[in-house]
């Protein structure tokens, strides 16, 4: 088993990535602490291509193409997990298909920790093992 195998894998949701890319003053410090978990080797940070594309679209609309440099730097710290056709199709039947597709992709990959400011959006998946947490809560739990 490699050292990376023993580290918890943490999904980074779009809102956490946007907090960094858009430098949302109220949330950026907690989001950066999540990223520091990966940088410091305490966790493996993951996301999906759909999340990255959503973040890119919002960031460019909000800050222009200059936001792409920040997004690129952030995404260099993140590993991508696949979204299968099954997870995308199944996600379409939920009220929030983006959250559902992300949660289902995580379950397929065995990733259960989720850094998000939208904890309530993942309630339908908690009984399947998804553990959504506010960034500050996640950092506190993994720093113990």
Tell me the mean pLDDT per 10 residues along the chain, length 144: 73 98 97 96 96 96 92 95 94 93 96 97 96 98 89
pLDDT at 5: 63
- In 3D space, the residue among 98, 86, 93 whose CA is nearest the CA of residue 122 turns out to be 98
Answer whether residue 144 is part of any domain. no
Answer whether residue 9 is part of any domain. yes
Indicate the number of domains in the chain: 1
pLDDT at 30: 98
pTM beyond 0.85: yes
The rounded distance, in Å, linking the Cα atoms of 14 and 55 is 6
pLDDT at 34: 98
Q: H/E/C letters for each residue in the chain?
A: CCHHHHCCEEEECHHHHHHHHCCCCCCHHHHHHHHHHHHCCCCEEEECHHHHHHHHHHHHHHHCCCHHHHHHHHHCCCEECCCCHHHHHHHCCCCCHHHHHHHHHHHHHCCCEEECCCHHHHHHHHHHCCEEECHHHHHHHHCC
pLDDT at 6: 85
The rounded distance, in Å, linking the Cα atoms of 120 and 57 is 23
Answer whether residue 132 is part of any domain. yes
pLDDT at 144: 79
Answer whether residue 58 is part of any domain. yes
pLDDT at 1: 42
Answer whether residue 41 is part of any domain. yes
Domain that holds residue 7: 3-139
CATH code of the domain containing 35 = 3.40.50.1010
């Amino acid at each position: 088993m490699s050292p990376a195998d023993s580290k918890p894998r943490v999904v980074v949701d779009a809102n956490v990535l946007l907090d960094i890319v858009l430098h949302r003053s109220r949330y950026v410090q907690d989001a950066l602490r999540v990223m520091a978990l990966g940088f410091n080797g305490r966790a493996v940070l993951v996301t999906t291509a759909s999340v990255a594309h959503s973040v890119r679209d919002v960031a460019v609309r909000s800050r222009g193409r200059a936001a792409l440099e920040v997004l690129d730097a952030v995404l260099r710290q993140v590993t991508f997990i696949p979204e299968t056709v099954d997870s995308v199709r199944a996600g379409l039947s939920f009220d929030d298909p983006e959250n559902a597709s992300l949660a289902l992709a995580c379950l397929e990959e065995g990733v259960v920790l989720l850094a998000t400011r939208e904890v309530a959006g993942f309630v339908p998946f908690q009984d399947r093992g998804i553990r959504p947490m506010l960034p500050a809560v996640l950092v506190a739990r993994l720093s113990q």
